[in-house]
Amino acid sequence: MGTAAGQAEQAPGAPHAVDRLAALLAEDLAAVDALIHQHMTSPVGVIPNLATHLIDAGGKRIRPLITLAAARLLGGGGDGPRKLAAAVEFIHSATLLHDDVVDVSSMRRGKKSANVVWGNSASVLVGDFLFARSFNLMVETGDIQVLDILARAASVIAEGEVMQLAAANDAETSRERYMAIVAAKTAALFAAAARSGAVAAGRPGEEAAALDVYGRELGLAFQLVDDALDYGGLTATMGKNVGDDFREGKVTLPVVFARDAGDEAERVFWRRVMGGERTDDDFHRALSLMKRHNAIGLTLEAAREHAAQAKAALKSLPANAYREALADLPDFVVDRAY
């Protein structure tokens, strides 16, 4: 699946919620981009080259935007939230580099992935560099509380990645186990991004807890939509990356729904293909079984429920333009799969 927003499609019409958020935070976001570029410099040429390849490839900066918006929503100003937002993006970037090595991926954000261009070793080590730099940025804020939040999230993310690795080619992966993986590998960083924004604004109590829920639920929705898009979404549009999860033997929620609703012959099929014996023809059979059991629809329903929880979590927070923009994100995240 990948943890990136790589599969978001540009729909016609009004600007996306992410773009509106980016416009609202244009000045902050420019400062964050400057911080990002400043902190990925190194006399060791491979580092900025590889990092730029990934970071300038057009990610939507959704996680740093959440940090910035959470801080501004609660009246937090100054450089702290910007540094924190850059740190969040660095953690995310380091994760992507290591993910692509682990998944043997060849594409990322519509370009050859860094491991293909520079090799696995460079991707591992530059990932380590970016991860270290994320802590440099957090240290610059001087705020031990945000360090605590993000260091914990970093541990949980790594746990989630290892859980996912252990579950690969395990055809019997349950819905509960899969959701635990998603909560750790994806939602934990969204939650920490939002919570740390609140803490940077000097509001570590109820507001931070509400934003933590917002980020976590949004992250769950985000990943489930990514999983649905990996099978082409509801209209089975064959965009980039479609079929990656299937080829990697990742039992995601669409597979869980189709498998658990299937008859014995279908379960035999899922056991075989998710257990490691897969052909391209099998992918088409998988798609047709998912259609038969509305597995993508059910996955998107689950995503929509998490999106609704995310929106609900904002209700107790001050009503302002930042809250409004954050409230639009969950629908956007889900709508990109239709």
Give residue for tokens 């690795």. 165
Q: Does 154 sit near a copy of itself (CB under 8 A)?
A: yes
Q: Smallest distance, Å, CB 144 to a copy of itself?
A: 6
The 78-117 contact track toward a copy of itself, x by CB under 8 A, reads ----------------x---x--xx---------------
- CA–CA separation, 300 vs 1, rounded Å? 15
Would you say 28 or 99 has its CB closer to a copy of itself?
A: 99
Only one of the segments 55-63, 147-155, 227-235, 317-325 lies at the binding site for a copy of itself (rule: CB under 8 A); that segment is 147-155
Q: Does 135 sit near a copy of itself (CB under 8 A)?
A: yes
- CA–CA separation, 261 vs 266, rounded Å? 9
Q: Does 234 sit near a copy of itself (CB under 8 A)?
A: no
Would you say 151 or 234 has its CB closer to a copy of itself?
A: 151
Q: Does 159 sit near a copy of itself (CB under 8 A)?
A: yes
Using CB under 8 A, count the residues that bind a copy of itself: 42
The 110-129 contact track toward a copy of itself, x by CB under 8 A, reads ----------xxx-xxxxxx
The residue ranges that bind a copy of itself (CB under 8 A) are 42-47, 94, 98, 101-102, 120-122, 124-129, 131-133, 135-136, 138-139, 142, 144, 147-148, 151-152, 154-155, 157-159, 161-163, 165-166
